[in-house]
């Protein structure tokens, strides 16, 4: 069976459009405020929505990003998330925000956001940041040292990281193109899954001794 070039182009265009619309579709109304009580809501996309006539300013408000998060943990960083769970009015709007605090030499370890591109601006300190492209692009590392006022973009789905390379705390803010971007921390996911992945599988995948894998799984166990 032979297909015309026009038919192939139409089919490919349809596929591109369908994938482009697979993330946080545009709102079908001025706003759709999330509501916990399903009896008073109408299901649209994302979360259930309250009657627009009952929306109030508090549905679009959050206070507290001026406060630093605690960095007294193993990775010496803290991510304060402001998404649809904190601001119900973000429902269906396809955007959210985070504040990231880094202790000296702290890091936001390699992770990925399955539903969002991230754009980060450094406000204070010095960061080394980067992301790694896909296998098809030969896993290239794109990295930069950021100073206050610098901006860096992490494309959707790419594994990325930030490290404070300075002797003083660092602060960054980042916007994400989803009301609920999700986060997959690589080490926690691979070595801390429930139930754990068979150590023999990981030993072969990472070319490690199986006892090393067992030690890592014990360390990252949830």
3-34 pLDDT, tens digit per residue, is 555 555 555 555 555 454 455 565 545 577 77
Domain positions in the chain: 59-182
Element (H, E) at 173: strand 170-176
Q: What residues form the annotated binding site for oxalate?
A: 108, 113, 118
Contacts of 75 (CB under 8 A, 6+ apart): 106, 107, 108, 109
* HEC letters along 41-58: CEECCCCEECCHHHCCHH
**What is the reported pLDDT for 2?**
54
* Direct distance between the N- and C-terminal alpha carbons of the chain, in angstroms, rounded to an integer: 54
**What is the reported pLDDT for 3?**
53
**What is the reported pLDDT for 221?**
87
**What is the reported pLDDT for 142?**
98
Residue 97 has pLDDT above 50, yes or no: yes
Q: Could you tell me the maximum CA-CA distance found in the chain, to the nearest angstrom? A: 66
Q: What residues form the annotated binding site for Mn(2+)?
A: 111, 113, 118, 160
pLDDT 10s digits, 182-196: 999 999 999 999 999
pLDDT 10s digits, 116-127: 999 999 999 999
Residue 150 has pLDDT above 70, yes or no: yes
Tell me which of 45 and 169 has the higher pLDDT. Answer: 169
Residue 92 has pLDDT above 90, yes or no: no
**What is the reported pLDDT for 156?**
93
The chain-wide mean pLDDT, for the chain, equals 88
Q: What residues form the annotated binding site?
A: 108, 111, 113, 118, 160
Fold type of domain 59-182:
Jelly Rolls (2.60.120)
Per-residue pLDDT band for 47 (boundaries 50, 70, 90) equals confident
């Amino acid at each position: 069976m032979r297909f015309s070039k026009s038919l192939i182009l139409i089919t490919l265009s349809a596929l591109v459009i369908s994938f482009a619309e697979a993330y946080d579709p545009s709102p079908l109304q001025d706003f759709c405020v999330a509501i916990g009580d399903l009896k008073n809501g109408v299901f649209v996309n994302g979360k259930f929505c309250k009657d627009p006539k009952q929306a109030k300013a508090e549905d679009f408000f959050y206070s507290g990003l001026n406060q630093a998060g605690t960095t007294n943990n193993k990775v010496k960083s803290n991510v304060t998330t402001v998404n649809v769970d904190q601001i119900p009015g973000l429902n269906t709007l396809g955007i959210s925000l985070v504040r990231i605090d880094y202790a000296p030499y702290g890091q936001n370890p390699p992770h990925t956001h399955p539903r969002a591109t991230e754009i980060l601006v450094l406000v204070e300190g010095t960061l080394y940041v980067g992301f790694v492209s896909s296998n098809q692009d030969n896993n290239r590392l794109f990295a930069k040292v950021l100073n206050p006022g610098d901006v860096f973009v992490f494309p959707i789905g790419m594994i990325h990281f930030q490290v404070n390379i300075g002797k003083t705390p660092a602060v960054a803010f980042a916007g994400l193109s989803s009301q609920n971007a999700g986060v997959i921390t690589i080490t926690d996911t691979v070595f801390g899954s429930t139930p754990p992945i068979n150590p023999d599988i990981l030993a072969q995948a990472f070319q490690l001794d199986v006892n090393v894998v067992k030690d890592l799984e014990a360390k990252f166990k949830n």
